[in-house]
Amino acid sequence: MNEAILAGNWKQLKGSIQEQWGRLTSDDLTVIAGRRDQVVGKIQERYGIAKDEAERQLAAFEVHQRDAKNL
């Protein structure tokens, strides 16, 4: 899922993102506003993980979301 798709589907994805990463607040998601790099940064910050791990988790989430849409 590229940056434009994430931003374009942000309203639909916010709930799923908050379910996946419950430590992200509504305020976090408002500030992020669909910017992928911001999502990665907030996951890093809230969960205390490395950037590459946050990227991996987000990529897996994106694949799951794409697969769910194609069902």
> What's the pLDDT band for 6 if we cut at 50, 70, 90?
confident
14-58 pLDDT, tens per residue?
A: 999 999 999 999 999 999 998 999 999 999 999 999 999 999 999
d(CA 43, CA 54): 6
Could you tell me the residue range of the domain that residue 21 belongs to? 3-69
pLDDT for position 21: 97
Neighbour count for residue 51 (Cβ, 10 Å): 12
Q: How many domains in the chain? A: 1
* pTM for the structure as a whole: 0.84
CATH number at residue 23: 1.10.1470.10
Looking at the predicted structure, is the pLDDT value of residue 1 above 70?
A: no
pLDDT for position 18: 93
> What's the pLDDT band for 13 if we cut at 50, 70, 90?
confident
